[in-house]
Amino acid sequence: MTDTTAVQVAPEAVETNKGHEGAQIIISLQQKGGAGKTTMLCCLAGAMARDGAKILFLDTEAGFPAAAWCEDLDDENVDCIEITSEEQLPATVEQYQDHYDAILIDTAGWDSRMASYAIGEAHLILIPCKSSKKDSIQAVKTYFHAKTATKNHKKAPEIVINLWGLKKYTNVAERTRVEMAEAKMPVLPYTMPALTGFEQMDWAGGMPQGAAAAAFQQWLGAMQNEHHLVYYDRGPLSQKTTEVA
């Protein structure tokens, strides 16, 4: 059975922008690469598209790994644009925010200028965290970096730390959960186990299979239950949707 131990967190004291109109802007953010940012967003894009959402994926990472994944996926509900300059990002979001149910932005490390622009556009910031002490520290630093960067926003983005790729039923995984709880971090009440199905996505493309597919469906359910994904509460904006030229 997949470990779904919840982490108790303090409620956010600031107003978030769940009530926005148009596309929900969702970004993945971490201090470094290799934490699972791209894999998480790719899975989310494919799952939401499967459920009828129209998704625009903006890939800002060097080498454009998300764009390559989108091409392999070949889903008519997922469009992708490679973003090559900081100024291009807000202009692209503004151009298409009324035409998609969600705009997903894959970022490099949060100290890049591109990531700063992405944070400025975000309604929801997803921070993946693995089970090492270093990963936990980086996740907490990323959280406070995002909070500081958005402290003057009229409506602050939601920020959610995701325990992603942990070896379940281990002391290290439990320690990660305890440390996040003690730090009062906003953690999704689901722990994504480390599964080879996510690694195979790099080779086979498409969505995770087998146990990884089942685990991701539980993650998606937790995101819906916590009302982090506007599409599942509001429904589609299909009457406004146009495709990227």
Count of domains for the chain: 1
pLDDT at 237: 81
The pTM for the full model equals 0.88
Please state, in angstroms and rounded to a whole number, the distance separating the CA atoms of residues 242 and 200.
32
Cβ pair 63, 227 in contact under 8 A: no
Question: CA dihedral in degrees (111, 57, 135, 63; nearest 10)?
Answer: -70
In a domain, 37, yes or no: yes
What pLDDT is recorded for position 109?
83
Task: Give the model confidence (pLDDT) of 178-233 as tens digits.
Answer: 889 888 999 999 999 999 999 898 788 899 999 999 999 999 999 999 999 999 99
d(CA 29, CA 37): 7
Q: Is 235 part of a structural domain of the chain?
A: no
Eight-state DSSP code of residue 35? S
Strands, E, within 32-179: which ranges? Answer: 55-59, 78-82, 102-106, 124-129, 158-166
In a domain, 13, yes or no: no
Supply the CATH number for residue 42's domain: 3.40.50.300
Is residue 44 in a domain?
A: yes
Closest CA to 114 of 138, 94, 87: 87
CA-wise closest residue to 37 among 54, 60, 17: 60
Residue in this structure with the two tokens 């996510």, named with its chain if needed: 198
Which pLDDT score is estimated for 82?
A: 96
Distance CA 162, CA 179 (A): 13
In a domain, 93, yes or no: yes
Residue type, 107: T
In-domain check, residue 16: no
- CB 160, CB 116: distance < 8 Å: no
Question: Exposure string (b/e) for 77-115, b if CB count within 10 Å is 16 or more?
Answer: bbbbbbbeeeebbeebbeebbebbbbbbbbbbbbeeebb
In a domain, 1, yes or no: no
pLDDT along the chain (245 residues), means of 10: 34 46 94 85 97 97 91 94 94 96 92 92 96 88 94 91 86 84 92 92 89 97 97 80 49
What residue numbers bound the domain in which 182 lies?
Answer: 24-230
Q: Retrieve residue 225's tokens.
A: 């239950």
Q: What is the pLDDT of residue 127?
A: 96
- Residue 242 lies inside a defined structural domain of this protein: no
Q: What residues contact residue 56 under an 8 Å CB cut-off, 6+ apart?
A: 23, 79, 80, 81, 96, 99, 100, 102, 103, 104, 244
